[in-house]
Amino acid sequence: MTPVRQPTVLERAAPLLRPSGDRDLPPVARGEELVDPASGRTWRVEGGVLDLLGDCFVPTATQRMLDTRATAWLYDRARDACAPLIGMPDFATEVRDVVARLALGSGAVVVDVACGHGNFTVELARRVGERGLAIGLDISAAMLARAADRVQRDGLQNVLLLRADALQLPLADGVLTALLCSGGLHQLPDLPRALAEFARVLAPGGRLAASGFAEAGEGSMGWRAWLRRWLALHVVPLAPLARSLGTAGFDEIGTCTAGPVGYAWARRTAAAPT
């Protein structure tokens, strides 16, 4: 008996993707290529990453700084060791909390926005299992290269890595059950727009977990305003963030801080935001 060929991760993800921006027309996966049936435009998986940005994306100063081999290597090596030193929980605790807040189960579809070197992406992939799908998304080619190495080392067949923009997610409406943006909130140049995109791609009842450099309450100005103006780097005030989540279409919103990092989680409401 001839064995049944299992679909590739690109074939499984293709119905969810909208790289051309047309939300009604899904692309077609052909081998390692994704094809837009309307225009014939193609995107190819190279080095374990599907690049949907090419040379069109203009990064902020902070994003540009993180998109080098040296900074990607340093972040990969130092992140977990340094986190407890600044008051953050260790990585195992963060993963446990994320899985609980996203209510992840076998077979879920989850996107890891600002996935960086893929440490959370591979953990999410393990939690959703072979029937599930984990999509890691970042604008940094250097970070994604390290994520691709991690996925390959772990032998995971349910991970797709995308180079794409969080402010214009290449995904259809309401196709996700869970979305993570760990350590990425402070790097998003237009946070309300990003939150609206998170809400758009989540199905009603879908869960969001996010974190980044933050402060409790209403926030303050001073040097934080300078960071935002010149580097597009935010220290996110959690009270306005909670209000913005409500405006974007979330409820059951919670926040907390650990050292300089703030954590937020929420549920996508059944009704669209007004």
Task: Please report the pLDDT score of residue 193 as a whole number.
Answer: 96
pTM across the whole model: 0.91
Q: At CA 138, angle to CA 151 and CA 8, rounded to 5?
A: 45
Q: What residue ranges define each of the domains in the chain, with the CATH number in brackets?
A: 49-268 (3.40.50.150)
Lowest mean pLDDT among 125-139, 155-169, 171-185, 258-272: 258-272
Q: What percent of the chain has pLDDT over 90?
A: 67
Better-scored residue on pLDDT, 204 or 55: 204
The string of DSSP letters for 205-245 reads EEEEEEEEEEESTT---THHHHHHHHH----EEHHHHHHHH
Task: Please report the pLDDT score of residue 230 as a whole number.
Answer: 47
Q: Is there a contact between 113 and 166 (Cβ–Cβ < 8 Å)?
A: yes
Better-scored residue on pLDDT, 246 or 230: 246
Better-scored residue on pLDDT, 172 or 80: 172
Phi-psi region of 267 (alpha: psi -120 to 50; beta: other; left: phi over 0): beta
Confidence of residue 224 (pLDDT cuts 50, 70, 90): low
Q: Is there a contact between 61 and 229 (Cβ–Cβ < 8 Å)?
A: no
Confidence of residue 142 (pLDDT cuts 50, 70, 90): very high
When the pLDDT of each residue in the chain is averaged and rounded to a whole number, the result is: 89
The burial class, CB within 10 Å (0-12 / 13-18 / 19+), for 80 is middle
Model confidence pLDDT, tens digit, residues 76-134: 888 888 888 888 899 999 999 999 999 999 999 999 999 999 999 999 999 999 999 99
List residues bridging with 173 in a β-sheet. none
Model confidence pLDDT, tens digit, residues 49-66: 999 998 887 777 677 777
Task: Please report the pLDDT score of residue 202 as a whole number.
Answer: 97
Confidence of residue 3 (pLDDT cuts 50, 70, 90): low
- pLDDT above 90 (res 223): no
**SS3 of 45, please?**
strand
Better-scored residue on pLDDT, 21 or 32: 32
